[in-house]
Amino acid sequence: MSEPTTAGLAGIGLGKLLGISVGAGAVALVVMSLTEPQSRREWVVALVCTVLGSVCGGAFIIQWLGLQAWAETFEGLVAFAGVYFTAGLPAWVLVRGAFAWFNGPDGRSLPAIIDLFRKAFGR
């Protein structure tokens, strides 16, 4: 028979992991339903960036606002899923905007994009 503290800690860890997964998965599902990617490559890049933006951005927001105490209750973990969800939306917008800009009407190539950045930043 295992110790109650070990089982309890495992349950808390599973709850936190589930909250992160639900928030990150929900944001990916919502934004992909709203704007369909044009290619499989764009879909994969957008999915990875959205999930990473959700997890990393959500963790940053939680640390920045000092919300770590919320992790002690189930309701706090549910609220964290909302934080992760909200943090993933800007990542999707940035990826979609980058693809729209790269695949613009003039078909920008990598050297042309680098030249544009150099001109924009004065180098």
Spans of all domains in the chain: 4-120
24 — pLDDT class (breaks 50, 70, 90): low
Predicted TM-score of the model (pTM): 0.58
On whether the CB atoms of residues 49 and 94 are closer than 8 A, the answer is yes
Contact by Cβ (8 Å): 26, 47? no
Q: Cβ distance 20 to 78 under 8 Å?
A: no
Residues in the chain: 123
Q: What is the pLDDT of residues 28-64, one digit of tens each?
A: 666 666 667 677 887 788 888 888 888 888 889 989 9
Contact in structure between 27 and 89 (CB atoms under 8 Å): yes
